[in-house]
Amino acid sequence: MDASVNDLLASKYDIRLSKPEDAITILETGLAGMIFIPDDIDEKFFDLKNGVLGETFQKLVNYRFPIAVVLPADHDFGLRVTELAREHSKHPIIRFCQDIDDAKAWMTQFLF
């Protein structure tokens, strides 16, 4: 069966970004990558003081598991998250995109 970029949507597997252990759940899917939209992300995930985002992203980078995070320009997570998204706009493993179409387009390179 050919993989489709729509098969990489986190919501299809009821996976959310909320705690560091979610990285293991993501890796265990065996998928080529995963796309997260705002509804798939706990608002505490973007509280950079708690370290959850950093620990989760580091595990995914260590295992070279690509994820796209859809984060619209008008998000409410603050300036530091905007800076983080800008820093990751060209990252090879963790990519922030402003809309789902950009996320899907970037993720197609990882499909077999």
92-107 pLDDT, tens digit per residue, is 999 999 999 999 999 9
Quickly count: other Cβ atoms within 10 Å of residue 82's Cβ: 14
pLDDT digits (tens, 9 = 90+) for 25-72: 999 999 999 999 999 999 899 999 999 999 999 999 999 999 999 999
Spatial separation of the C-alpha atoms in residues 75 and 14, rounded to whole Å? 22
Is pLDDT above 90 for 76? no
Is pLDDT above 60 for 2? no
pTM for the model stands at 0.93
Hey, CA dihedral for 53, 25, 90, 70, is it positive or negative?
negative
Spatial separation of the C-alpha atoms in residues 18 and 37, rounded to whole Å? 13
- Residue 3 banded pLDDT, cuts 50, 70, 90: low
Collapsing DSSP to helix, strand or coil, 42 comes out as: coil
- Residue 1 banded pLDDT, cuts 50, 70, 90: very low
Spatial separation of the C-alpha atoms in residues 55 and 78, rounded to whole Å? 20
Is pLDDT above 90 for 73? no
Secondary structure letter of residue 14 according to DSSP: T
Residues in the chain: 112
